[in-house]
Amino acid sequence: MLQAIRSKAGSLIVKILFALLIISFGVWGIADVFRQRTAAETTVANVGGIKIQADELQVGVNRQMENLRRLYGSFTIEQAKQLGIIDGVLNNLIGSDLFMLEERRLQVMVDDQVVRDAIVANPNFHNSAGTFDPNLFKFVLSNNQLSEARYVSLVRQDTERAMLTSAVASGAAAPRALVDPLFRRQDEKRIADTVLVPLDKMTDLGEPSEADLQDGYDKHRASFRTPEYRGLTALVLRPDDLVGDIEVPEDKLRKEYDARLGEFQTPDRREIEQILVPDKAKAEDAMAQLAAGKDFVEVAKDVADQDESAVKFGWIERKDMPPVLGDAAFALAKNETSKPVEDGLGWHILRVTGIDAGGTKSFEEVRNQLKTDVARDMAADELFKEHNDIEDALAGGATLDRIAEKFKMKLTKVEAIDPDGNMPNGERGPLTDGDILHTAFNTESGQTTRLTETKDNGYFLLRVDSITPSAEKPLSEVKGQVKDIWLAEKRSAAAAAAAKDIAAAVAAGKSLVEVAGEKQLPVSTSPPVQRSAGGQSSLLASLVARIFELKPGETGISEGPNGWYVAQLKSIEVPDPAAAKTAVDQLSDQLTQGIQSDLLTEFDKALRGRYRVEIRQDEIDRAF
């Protein structure tokens, strides 16, 4: 883990320490001990007398949403509700409090010496000699905004939690009677010969009769419906509609530039390598080797046992470095090496391999961008000011045409549009905004909606002029589609019959290669496949499943997108658990973890029976 952090972290402080402050907390993690409980705040849940406040829940939900935004971009609170994130965070908070209550009931306590030993053993506080360094300990806590007393409290609570969860679940283990058979099943491999009877070789299917067409039409009526269409009159006003008419004062642009100056600045950076040694003697030894022309990375390996990933820090800003090291590094020219620099961690020798002096874009360089952004903000403010006036005009009976004229809103009329924004001729309609269409299709005919805000700070209102219900298309309009469906079904049936004939011939004693050759169809031998066909692109999952239903020598058929397959099982490779100790141990660990997780879940349920849990859904709804 430390090596991974060393190679990926971007801060020089992190690289020097080799790791951030990392503490593994069981079951529900460390988040609960940072919760600030304020009696005046709104209670969303009460767990045996411990109150969970709305702001605690909001902090946890926001943390989860930020993680999802990093992965997927935009992520709204409505999506969080749909995915159950709010309920999940609340359950975690409740679970943590339940464990806390049980720890108090059982009087679970940890001796001070145990806490001290845990801290001393934490490698994040070890110096380059591998021993606990009090100065490094204080330095790490300071950089993570933790007092020593607070950190000791966290370690104590974590240890107490670990003791309780260990008592509940640590004795559970997956029995060999479960592991070995499951391993044999999961890792069993089979090889089969396969033949594809392709759909495109099924010809001479004839023509459907009128009765066939009618029957096909009746079976697939749902496929031949027109969508519901609505005729709309809509008024839409967006900030971008007003931007062109807005004059942005020069002084406002200057103020915006000053306020966003950091956005237009590229920081001064250095690409840095470092040798870190525990004492002056080793530092002097390193300097002597460098002076003799030896490679920097080789010297680091020789005197400090540092590998290349620990030496090369990449591009670093000055703010990410301790002052004494920053002063030394940023005074160096490219490819220049510093003299040894001492601090609380040891002796540092720095080498600058690249310089990016950074800079600031001038006001004129970003003037157009600033003008567009400020104009858009001013337009949004103007629209907000007009909101009440538009509402008053609507309440006074003003028509949509009058409102459009008075407030310069774009008036759009569309005779017919479906929920996806398409018109009957298949073209895209003039209204494609999902929120506008959703509102339109949830409004009665003849009704005018209220003024509604759009996601880009604009507004719209609309009137539903007409509704054309969804209807079945008559057979005469879709006869060609019905015929295509009939032919596809006949083609699949013919391929299936051919596949069954091949399988029957093999079952009667012929070889698959012989029967397939008579029909000029190639035979393929599969690679060894397992039950889970994931990643096995050469075989369909449905075909793999069919192969695992067969006995050696048996044949079976399976449908695919391009035809029907005939498969004959050639061999079965049954794994020996005794010969695959590593894989079996991994499976055993997975099963054990699942069993332990189930035990902790049941323990949580038992605690909910012992301690009263009250959830105030009305307060949760108000908070979100």
DSSP character string of 287-323: HHHHHTT--HHHHHHHHH---HHHHEEEEEEGGGS-H
Report the amino acid identity of residue 400.
L
- Phi, then psi, of 73 in degrees rounded to 5: 85, -130
What residues contact 555, with CB distance under 8 A and at least 6 apart?
Answer: 502, 503, 506, 507, 512, 566, 567, 568, 569
Say what the pLDDT of residue 536 is: 54
Helices (H), 312-366: 323-329
Say what the pLDDT of residue 534 is: 53
434 in the Ramachandran plot: left (φ > 0), alpha (ψ -120 to 50) or beta? alpha
- Phi, then psi, of 380 in degrees rounded to 5: -65, -40
Say what the pLDDT of residue 533 is: 60
- Phi, then psi, of 273 in degrees rounded to 5: -120, 150
Q: Residue 251's CB: how many other CB atoms inside 10 A?
A: 8
Helices (H), 260-293: 280-291
Say what the pLDDT of residue 73 is: 66
Q: Residue 256: which H helix or E strand, with range?
A: helix 250-259
What residues contact 165, with CB distance under 8 A and at least 6 apart?
Answer: 26, 27, 99, 600
Q: Residue 103's CB: how many other CB atoms inside 10 A?
A: 16
**Cβ(52)–Cβ(46) below 8 Å:** yes
**Cβ(468)–Cβ(228) below 8 Å:** yes
DSSP character string of 532-559: S-TT-TTS-HHHHHHHTTPPTT-EEEEE
Model pLDDT for residues 18-58, shown as the tens digit of each residue:
332 333 333 333 344 444 444 445 899 999 999 999 988 99
What residues contact 464, with CB distance under 8 A and at least 6 apart?
Answer: 230, 231, 232, 440, 443, 444, 445, 446, 447
Whole-number Å distance between alpha carbons of 436 and 78: 18
Model pLDDT for residues 458-512, shown as the tens digit of each residue:
889 999 999 999 999 999 999 999 999 999 999 999 999 999 999 999 999 999 9
- At 505, list the tokens: 């011939």
What residues contact 33, with CB distance under 8 A and at least 6 apart?
Answer: 153, 154, 157
Low-confidence stretches of the chain (pLDDT beneath 70): 1-41, 72-74, 533-537
Say what the pLDDT of residue 31 is: 40
Say what the pLDDT of residue 482 is: 95
Q: Find the length of the chain.
A: 624
Q: How many helices (H) and strands (E) does the chain have?
A: 24, 19
**Cβ(44)–Cβ(53) below 8 Å:** yes
**Cβ(186)–Cβ(567) below 8 Å:** no
Q: Residue 43: which H helix or E strand, with range?
A: strand 43-47
Whole-number Å distance between alpha carbons of 65 and 72: 10
What single DSSP character describes residue 285? H
Helices (H), 53-187: 54-72, 77-82, 85-106, 112-121, 134-143, 148-169, 176-187
Say what the pLDDT of residue 27 is: 35
CA 612 from chain centre, in angstroms, equals: 35
- Strand order in 189-198's β-sheet? 523-525, 189-198, 563-573, 555-560
What single DSSP character describes residue 33? G
**Cβ(305)–Cβ(333) below 8 Å:** no
**Cβ(605)–Cβ(99) below 8 Å:** no
